[in-house]
Amino acid sequence: MSLHDISGRMEDYLRSIHKVIEEKGFARVKDIASDLKIKPSSVVEMMNKLQAKGLVVYEKYGGIRLTDEGETIAQVVRKRHETFAKFLEIILVPREAALRDAHILEHQLDPKTILQFARFVEFMADLSNKPGFIRRWAEEFREYCSRENKKISDVF
């Protein structure tokens, strides 16, 4: 199974399961419902679908775990989400907005576009070994944004 065979919503569930398991060591329906801010009945319905696809093992009234394939997909989805969040923070988007918008971008863009975003974020991270460059770039960008904000403050 590939990422093309599952919906964006399924990806969200897999990422949530992965996150909850990393944080707590296990995941239950109520944990996933809380993380995604949805009803437990919706989680149960999706767990049955994901289990049918071989991505999770779900025991009614028990725990949820990712299969090897589910784990692999969850890691890819989580990495993609983190890449977009980091990119948005690089361009000075506030963290909360970056996290919300990363969620939108991760499901909407072509894989080749996603790859280029990932490369850019990795490139910028690699430049952190050259702090003078990053600091100058960030300062220049902040000043540019400040000047532009004064020009268009009424537009947004």
Q: What is the pLDDT of residues 94-151, one digit of tens each?
A: 999 999 999 888 888 888 998 999 988 888 877 667 667 777 877 888 888 888 877 7
- The residues of the chain that CATH labels 1.10.10.10 are 3-73
Q: Which CATH number does 81-152 carry?
A: 1.10.60
User: What pTM did the predictor assign?
Assistant: 0.79
Round the average pLDDT of the chain to a whole number and report it. Answer: 88
Strand pairing class (64-66; 56-58): antiparallel
- Whether the CA torsion 140, 142, 147, 151 is positive or negative: it is positive
For the chain, the maximum distance between any two Cα atoms, rounded to a whole number of angstroms, is 57
Q: In the prediction, which pLDDT does 74 show?
A: 94
Q: Which CATH number does 3-73 carry?
A: 1.10.10.10
CA 115 to chain centre: 14
For 4-8, 18-22, 25-29, 98-102, which range has the lowest pLDDT when averaged over its residues? Answer: 4-8
